[in-house]
């Protein structure tokens, strides 16, 4: 499969703290790539760099053969990269359908008639199960509904690549399964997916390829089953193993 996005030697520090350190990532078109790592590993920062919200100190991002350079987030969105946020950000005072309509009108290039735009919004709301809530204000939605709205809003821009940042966080098991099925369906429709997730069942169940960040460095990548059990990854999650006999009561 061709490479849809390549991030090369990306580094970014915040006030001396290396959030991302010389990270290179290649996403294959049509695949679901998972990105895991402990809190503060730099996962969201990498998404922010890819989508143009944060400029890297070093490194380049190339999407569909075009270097993104200093393009603004709206330009990058129109080129075909869309994302959801870890903390969802709907326009709370607007009705649900208008939140999605904004994506249709402003997140892509070209003219669209209002009739077609409305039709697309209804299809998207149907897809995420929010058709009945179309006229409700976004502020009236519960957590799971807001997550679905966030997905519909991201899809409204017609992405070729969709970045999902902890989209199942806060959901119960059956809600999580429903979102996983939606993600599979989005991929079946031809969208490449890059997914940050802490819930291992979700990452392992969805990813074709898995990347692991730790302290801003890419410490492992490859087939999910292999990566998740590799010693470096286990250590990153569980901390340094003490040598045998080193355990003693604190105190
Ligand atoms: N805009 C910013 N200004 C200053 N520091 C930042 C900024 N964004 C991120 N950081 C810091 O960079 C590091 C990486 O943060 P990031 O949000 O990318 O981690 P993460 O892997 O997404 O973590 P989590 O799993 O908790 O969401 C953290 O130490 C964070 O405090
Ligand atoms: Mg994050």
At 222 the three-state DSSP class reads strand
Looking at ligand 1, which residue's alpha carbon is closest to its atom 27? 39
**Cα-to-centroid distance, 11 and ligand 1 (Å):** 13
Asked if residue 45 has its Cβ within 6 Å of ligand 1, the reply is yes
Which of 222, 239, 232 has its CA nearest to residue 34?
222
- Specify whether the CB–CB gap between 192 and 160 falls below 8 A: yes
Looking at ligand 1, which residue's alpha carbon is closest to its atom 28? 40
Mean pLDDT, consecutive 10-residue stretches, the chain (251 aa), reads 96 96 98 96 98 97 96 96 93 97 92 95 97 97 94 97 96 94 96 96 96 96 94 82 41 30
pLDDT of residue 240: 59
Domain ranges of the chain: 1-80+160-251, 88-158
Instruction: For the chain, list the strands marked E by DSSP.
Output: 3-14, 17-28, 32-36, 58-63, 66-67, 81-83, 161-165, 192-196, 209-214, 217-222
What's the start-to-end Cα distance of the chain, in Å?
56
Looking at ligand 1, which residue's alpha carbon is closest to its atom 31? 40
**Cα-to-centroid distance, 208 and ligand 1 (Å):** 25
pTM summary value: 0.92
Task: Compute the distance between CA of residue 232 and CA of residue 248 in angstroms, rounded to an integer.
Answer: 25
Asked if residue 39 has its Cβ within 6 Å of ligand 1, the reply is yes
Task: Compute the distance between CA of residue 73 and CA of residue 54 in angstroms, rounded to an integer.
Answer: 9
pLDDT of residue 148: 95
Kindly report, residue by residue over 112-132, the tens digit of the pLDDT.
999 999 999 999 999 999 999
Asked if residue 76 has its Cβ within 6 Å of ligand 1, the reply is no
pLDDT of residue 248: 39
Does domain 1-80+160-251 bear CATH number 3.40.720.10? no
């Amino acid at each position: 499969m061709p490479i849809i996005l390549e991030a090369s030697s990306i580094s970014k520090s915040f006030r001396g703290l290396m959030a991302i350190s010389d990270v290179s990532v290649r996403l294959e078109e049509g695949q679901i790539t998972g990105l895991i790592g402990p809190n503060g590993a730099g996962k969201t920062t990498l998404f922010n760099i890819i989508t143009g919200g944060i400029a890297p100190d070093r490194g380049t991002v190339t999407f569909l053969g075009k270097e993104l350079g200093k393009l603004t987030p709206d330009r990058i969105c129109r080129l075909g990269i869309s994302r959801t946020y870890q903390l969802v950000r709907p326009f709370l005072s607007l009705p649900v359908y208008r939140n999605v309509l904004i994506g249709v009108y402003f997140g892509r290039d070209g003219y669209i008639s209002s009739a077609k735009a409305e039709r697309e919004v209804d299809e998207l709301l149907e897809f995420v199960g929010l058709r009945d809530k179309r006229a409700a204000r976004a502020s009236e939605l519960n957590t799971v509904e807001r997550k679905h709205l966030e997905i519909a809003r991201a899809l409204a821009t017609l992405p070729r690549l969709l970045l999902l940042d902890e989209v199942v966080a806060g959901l119960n098991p059956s809600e999580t399964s429903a979102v996983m099925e939606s993600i599979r369906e989005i991929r079946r429709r031809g969208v490449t997916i890059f997914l940050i997730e802490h819930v291992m069942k979700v990452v392992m169940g969805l990813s074709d390829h898995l990347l692991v960040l730790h302290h801003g460095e890419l410490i492992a990548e490859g087939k999910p089953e292999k990566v998740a059990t590799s010693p470096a990854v286990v250590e990153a999650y569980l901390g340094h193993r003490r040598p045998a006999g080193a355990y003693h009561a604190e105190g």
